[in-house]
Amino acid sequence: MDIARFKLQHVEILDSIARLREHARAGIVEHAADIAGLVVSMSSIIKVHLAVEDRMLYPAVQKQADRALAEMGRAYQEEMQKIAAAYIDFSRRWNTAAQVARDPEQFRAQANTVLKAVYQRMQKENREFYPAIEAM
């Protein structure tokens, strides 16, 4: 199974998270427009990534004869539902400069929680799940 597109999307998402972090460190209020723009662009990538995972990747993995890999796919899909829901809420709340500038500390707190979960999940996929898929 070719998962190059998924890997590329991970790179794009991780790059967006790094740029969000840079803008937040430089000043959330001062960079609210840049932050909101990154949230919107990153959301587009994440939504496509999640949709293709749900429609194609997870079902294909779960049909494999390798029961351990099939179960891994099922577990990853279930775990991702919680992370995705938290991210969707985050992206809806912080998709305009006005919203970001209005409550910078709440943005920072929620970004630290939600984006950390997204980051950790992608690292886990890169380290465990994708190599297992490529080995099948």
Q: What is the pLDDT of residues 76-94, one digit of tens each?
A: 999 999 999 999 999 999 9
Enter the pTM of the model: 0.91
Whether residue 118 contacts residue 87, with contact meaning beta carbons closer than 8 Å, is answered with yes
pLDDT at 1: 81
pLDDT at 18: 97
What is the rounded distance in angstroms from the CA atom of residue 35 to the CA atom of residue 52? 26
Whether residue 133 contacts residue 61, with contact meaning beta carbons closer than 8 Å, is answered with yes
CA atoms within 13 A of residue 61's CA, in its CB half-sphere:
26
Q: 121 is written with which tokens?
A: 């999940």
Is the pLDDT higher at 2 or at 38?
38
> Is the pLDDT assigned to residue 32 strictly greater than 90?
yes
